[in-house]
Structure 1
Amino acid sequence: MPTDALPWTPPANCSVQMLPAGRWWDAVQAPRALGEHALRLLGDATGAVIDDPRGKRLAWLIAPGASDPWDMTWLPGIELRGQATYVHVPAVEQTEGPGVHWRVPLAPGRYLTEPAYLLTVLQMATKAVQ
């Protein structure tokens, strides 16, 4: 996969690393059922997505600081990972489980998810799975 056009490339030749959020991206983590529904709603509008089967969650990458103004009271179970937090990030070639892997692989044109649209979709998915 050509990732040289990206501003950031995940680790290579390892299974998973803990990397700091807030520099190249922030992460929005959702419980699996909610995340699966949101992923279907996003369709081709999704950016890269990390799947953590053990933690039973999906994580979208968004621009650093983009979720700072979000009101999380409407999104139970959603966790934001920004400055001073870390995220399990799979190797660039890790696109299948059983461990942490790229559910939607990182690629030029498929890097960050548009945060306002992701927020709207997560709100819709939250209502649908309640």
Structure 2
Amino acid sequence: MESTGLHWLAEAAPDPESCREQWERTGLGLMLLPAGRRWDVLSVPGRLGRPVLDILDARSRGPVLTDFGGESVGFLVPVGTAARWVGTGVSTAGDGTWIVVPHPGRCSRGVRWLVPPDGSGRLNDPVLLELALHEAAARLTDW
């Protein structure tokens, strides 16, 4: 799974082969990759994003990132989602932005996978993600 996920992620790079070689040769834990080519990213505060993972069905979840302190959770979604997304407290990364992406099989400082890419190309469904965000937000306000 690690190698397949790595190859899938590298396809977003301007030079995928060079990206794969560098990632595999150097063992670097992190790479800077462009959003908006293969996926966009929707980031939410960690206290909201972690419950969303519990709500989403494990079989339909796509890749999910978090920062080292768990302050932010980023969901990889289909290209174009960032440009259309409207939501309070949601940061988007789409065409023209770059994000730090961890190696799918290695621990790294700063960013890690909560749900690593499996190489299939499966992404988080924006409709299901929005519903899960609403449900998680409602649960937080019920406390």
Q: Normalised by the size of structure 2, how large is the TM-score?
A: 0.74
- Name the structure, 1 or 2, with higher relative contact order (CA <8 Å, separation 6+): 1
| Structure 2 residue 102 is the aligned partner of structure 1 residue 90 | yes
- Give the aligned CA root-mean-square deviation in angstroms: 2.3
CA contact (8 A) 1:53 1:99 kept: yes
| Structure 2 residue 73 is the aligned partner of structure 1 residue 58 | yes
Shift of the 90–97 alpha-carbon distance from structure 1 to 2, 3 Å rule, reads closer
Structure 1: gaps of 5 or more residues: none
The CA deviation at 1:37 is 0.7
Q: Percent identity?
A: 30
How many residues end up aligned between the 2 structures? Answer: 124
The CA deviation at 1:112 is 0.7
CA contact (8 A) 1:20 1:87 kept: yes
Letter in 2 for 1:9: L
Question: Could you tell me which residue of structure 1 aligns to residue 130 of structure 2?
Answer: 119
| Structure 2 residue 9 is the aligned partner of structure 1 residue 9 | yes
Deviations 1:83-124 (A, max 9, x none): 122212001222x46531111111044731111111111122
Whole-Å Cα distance in 1 between the matches of residues 51 and 125 of structure 2? 17
| Structure 2 residue 80 is the aligned partner of structure 1 residue 68 | no
Structure 2: gaps of 5 or more residues: 11-19
Q: Which has the larger radius of gyration?
A: 2
